[in-house]
A = this chain, B = another copy of it.
Amino acid sequence: PPVKLLVLPGDGIGPEVMHEVGRVIAWLEKKRGMAFDITHDVVGGASLAEYGVPIRDEVIEKAWAADAVLFGSVGDPKWGHVGFEKRPEVAILKLRQELGLFANLRPAKVFDALVDASTLKPEVVRGLDIMIVRETVGGIYFGEPRGIETLPDGSKRGINTEVYTTSEIERVARVAFDLARKRDNRVCSVEKCNVMESGLLWKEVVTAVHAREFPDVELSHMLADNCAMQLVRNPRQFDVLVTGNLFGDLLSDLASMLTGSLGMLPSATLGAVQENGKRPALYEPIHGSAPDIAGQGIANPIAQILSFAMLLRYSLDRQDEAALIEQAVSNVLASGLRTADIMAPGMARVSTSVMGEAIVLE
């Protein structure tokens, strides 16, 4: 049966870069005998414009029905004043929560051809290859109680709650240890156990999962503030990092920026295997909707294409096809093609679609 994909391009450059994935899909159908059954829908600002909400329940249902979701990006300054409940970000937060997408995999990888794009010295980042595993349905993002209350004197109090349970920590830790086994076999777990009890539990549970199920993997622990420093000081010391939702948000963005080329970086967010054997999963570039350059045909489609490669790898177990796409991206960069965001002296500056075509022709 054909692979069922739900494609949600979203806002800004989302639709443009998603368009280039279409070429890759067509190529796989023609050359590799794959078949795709694709449904498109709107999210974020695009959904607000059409339906008045950042995401409809119907879209969540379609996501459940699909083998995987390919997501673009959401966020549009036009919708800056719609209020907390209706902001475009709700689209991605709701998809994560409703589908139980608890493990966000964010590789931070420096392509040899782009080592100079980093603001860090080449000798510090050359060959960098970190995998951050961020918990994405727990922690302070979703904990209750939350909200803003008005005090008797008219002043206000804003509250959010960080909560982690043993089972929430266990399942994301397992994802990290599993990944480490296919990489350099090292996991560093990150929290603030010197200040937060939720971090203390995090550390205890990761330690227990390690001892019980993954004693062959090397485990270390690091405080989140120190981790932010170490990522700048010597990022290559890390293999797999595993951390909670909020620390993961900051640290994965920090790690991405070390590569100097956000337009290159994909991500996957995985849920739990269901009774029918399916595992909900969503793939998206780590860059945002970049409204400032939307519609100009200059956005870099590589992160979106590599997100699709992750989809082939993690949701469809098509390792060969994923590797082919990743190799094609490397080759095109080595040949000197560059979109504006990664342009450098002596290279050839190309549009979104020329980059997409070149990757498919490779």
Residues on A facing B (Cβ under 8 Å) = 84, 87, 89, 93, 119-121, 124, 140-141, 143, 146-148, 151, 155-167, 192, 194-202, 205, 224-226, 228-229, 231-234, 246-247, 249-251, 253-254, 256-258, 262
Mostly, the A contact residues are helix
Q: How far is the CA of A147 from the CA of B232 in the complex (A)?
A: 32
Q: Which residues in B have their C-beta under 8 angstroms from that of A231?
A: 254
Contact B254 A192 (CB under 8 A): no
The smallest beta-carbon distance between A128 and chain B, in angstroms, is 12
A197's partner among B84, B167, B234 (CB-CB below 8 A) is B84
Which residues of chain B come closer than 8 Å to A87, judged between CB atoms? Answer: 194
Least CB separation from A87: chain B residue:
B194
Which of B167, B194, B258 meets A89, CB within 8 Å?
Answer: B194
Cβ–Cβ < 8 Å partners of A157 in chain B = 163-166, 201
Q: How far is the CB of A289 from chain B (nearest CB, A)?
A: 13
Q: How far is the CA of A251 from the CA of B196 in the complex (A)?
A: 18
The one of B194, B228, B257 that contacts A253, using a Cβ cutoff of 8 Å: B228
User: For residue A154, which residue of chain B has the nearest CB?
Assistant: B166
Complex alpha-carbon distance, A195 and B85, angstroms: 10
* Residue from A124, A166, A167, A195 having most chain B Cβ neighbours under 10 A: A195
Q: Smallest CB–CB gap between A238 and chain B, Å? A: 14
A218 smallest CB distance to B (angstroms): 19
- From residue A301, how far is it (CB to closest CB) to chain B in Å? 21
User: Is B254 within 8 A of A93, CB to CB?
Assistant: no
Expressed in whole angstroms, the Cα–Cα distance for A228 and B202 within the complex equals 23
Contacts of A147 in B (CB 8 A): 197
Given contacts A84-B197, A226-B253, contact A155 B165 (CB under 8 A): yes
Given the known A-B contacts A121-B119, A196-B140, A197-B148, are A232 and B250 also in contact in the complex, defined by CB atoms under 8 Å?
no
User: Would you call B253 and A229 a contact (CB within 8 A)?
Assistant: yes
Q: A129: shortest Cβ distance to chain B, in Å?
A: 17
| Contact call B233/A146, Cβ cutoff below 8 A | no
With A and B bound together, what is the CA distance between A267 and B55 in angstroms?
A: 45
Q: Are A251 and B228 in contact (CB under 8 A)?
A: yes
Q: Which residue of B is nearest A203, CB measured?
A: B158
Q: Select which of B119, B162, B205, B226 is within 8 A of A232 by beta carbon.
A: B119
Measured between beta carbons, the chain B residues less than 8 angstroms from A119 are 120-121, 124, 232-234
Smallest CB-CB separation from A157: which chain B residue? B165
| Distance of A146 Cα from B199 Cα, bound (Å) | 11
Do A158 and B164 form a contact, CB below 8 Å, given A197-B84, A228-B251, A257-B232? Answer: yes
Question: Are B167 and A163 closer than 8 Å at their CB atoms?
Answer: no
Give bound CA distance, A29 to B253, whole Å.
49
CB distance from A120 to the nearest CB of B (A): 5
Residues of B within 8 A of A192 (CB): 246, 249
Query: A158 to B198, Cβ gap below 8 A?
Result: yes
**Chain B residues in 8 Å Cβ range of A161:** 159-162
